[in-house]
Amino acid sequence: MKRFKGFITKEFYHIFRDKRSLFILFGMPIAQIMLFGFAITNEINNVDIAILDHAKDINTTEIINKISASKHFNINQYIEKESDIEAIFKKGKIKAVLNFENDFSKKLVKEHQASIQLITDATDPNTANTISNYLNAILIQYQKEINQDITLNYQIIPQTRMVFNPELKSVYMFVPGVMTIILMLVSAMMTSISITKEKELGTMEILLVSPIKPIQVIVGKVFPYIFLSIINAIIIVTLSLFIFKMPIQGSILLLGLESVLFIITALSLGILISTISETQQTAMMISLMGLMLPVILLSGFIFPISSMPLPLQLISNIIPAKWFIIIIKGIMLKGVGIQFIWKETLILIGMTVFFIVLSVKNYKIRLE
């Protein structure tokens, strides 16, 4: 036990004396959560649009006023002719152009229909889509207003309710994802690097020749990262709680326990990586390419798994992050208890055991 304590003290010296690893450990989570929370968002605000109004009559003016009153749009420019449209898109500031046809009001009254052309800059398809949806919503709203006196014969009125995230805040989606990435990164990458570092420096050999047991070496190397990862998880949850007002509907204790489980899963992956890599650089590349990319792309964090092609959906099942994201979304947003997430929990436990068994096997081969 005393040997073990000395080992851990040493490990903390390593971590706290290395500015880079300190930055990754604590700077990164805060920076990421802030980035995802504030900068990267699915909502659009103050999008610059341009108006090409051939009619300039009462209806078009009303529509334009409605649009400019919305916080989502900012009418930046009025243009006079079609040929200007391409030019302003090329400049890049304007993301959408509304083109009202000639005699808009007249046609509306006489022919009961008038058209507006909505052109969006789809270099960023998601934004273009959202802009188009928002503008359509405003137009439908306006249509309703001018049709107030007329009763239609048949009407279908959908009543939409967004449960668990009524305001559709994107931060609700990002917090679980960021937490997963950070815990994965800190736990798996940092441990695999710190273990391979000992191999690379030759100190691992010295440790293996000493009476300290290999298992003690590994646990000693991993232990500080469990501790630091837990602190990170607390930082992330606190930030999302107080800055982004993200609710925790379920039990905090359960959230904590599941997080510790995921940390251990990630650590066991880190150990596995360290058994197959000889240098810190290899360990880092494997962690980044083999863990980070799948976590970001295939875990359902950004891209919904259900809309992936079947092979990718199947692959996503072997990514621990996918299950953890389901678990924390369940606890934080839906407030579910263990009876709804026991399956995911068992999968994570199974994966952890698998990684540990594989590492032990690999480690033995190394020593031969």
Partner 1 sequence: MSNENVIQVERLTKTFGNFTAVNAISFEVKKGEIFGFLGANGAGKTTAMKMLIGISKPTSGEATIAGFDVYKHAEDIKKNIGYMSQKFALYDDLTVKENIAFFGGIYGLSRKIIKEKSKHLIEELGLVDVANKLVGALPLGWKQKLSFSVSLLHNPKIVFLDEPTGGVDPITRRQFWEMIYKAANQGTTVFVTTHYMDEAEYCDRVSIMVNGKIEALDTPKKLKAQFKVEHMNDVFLKLARHTE
3-state secondary structure of 40: coil
24 binds partner 1 (CB under 8 A): no
State the DSSP H helix or E strand holding residue 242, giving kind and residue range, or none if neither: helix 214-242
Question: What is the spatial distance between Cα 271 and Cα 274, in angstroms, rounded to a whole number?
Answer: 5
Spatial neighbors of 349 by CB under 8 A, at least 6 apart, are 261
DSSP 301: S
6 binds partner 1 (CB under 8 A): yes
3-state secondary structure of 126: helix
How far is CA 24 from each of CA 182, 183, 186, 222, 298, rounded to the nearest angstrom? 9, 11, 8, 16, 23
310 binds partner 1 (CB under 8 A): no
Amino acid at 100: F
Q: Of 22 and 318, which has the nearer Cβ to partner 1? A: 22
Q: Of 208 and 284, which has the nearer Cβ to partner 1? A: 208
Q: Would you state the structure tokens that stand for residue 300, as one six-digit string?
A: 């359902």
368 binds partner 1 (CB under 8 A): yes
Q: Of 11 and 121, which has the nearer Cβ to partner 1? A: 11
Question: What is the spatial distance between Cα 297 and Cα 3, in angstroms, rounded to a whole number?
Answer: 42
Amino acid at 61: T
201 binds partner 1 (CB under 8 A): yes
Q: Residues 122, 212, 260, 261: which binds partner 1 (CB under 8 A)?
A: 212
Question: What is the spatial distance between Cα 118 and Cα 136, in angstroms, rounded to a whole number?
Answer: 9
Q: Residues 68, 203, 238, 281: which binds partner 1 (CB under 8 A)?
A: 203
20 binds partner 1 (CB under 8 A): no
17 binds partner 1 (CB under 8 A): yes
- Using CB atoms within 10 Å of the CB of residue 241, give its burial: 0 to 12 exposed, 13 to 18 middle, 19+ buried: middle
Tell me the closest approach of the beta carbon of residue 362 to partner 1, in angstroms: 16
367 binds partner 1 (CB under 8 A): yes
Q: Of 202 and 304, which has the nearer Cβ to partner 1? A: 202
Please choose, out of 11-19, 72-80, 83-91, 182-190, the segment that lies near partner 1 by the rule CB under 8 A.
Answer: 11-19
Applying CB under 8 A, the site for partner 1 has a residue count of 24
2 binds partner 1 (CB under 8 A): yes
Q: Of 214 and 247, which has the nearer Cβ to partner 1? A: 214
361 binds partner 1 (CB under 8 A): no
- Phi and psi of 94, rounded to 5°? -80, 130
Where do contacts with partner 1 occur on this chain (CB under 8 A)?
2-3, 5-7, 9-10, 13-14, 17-18, 201-203, 205-212, 367-368
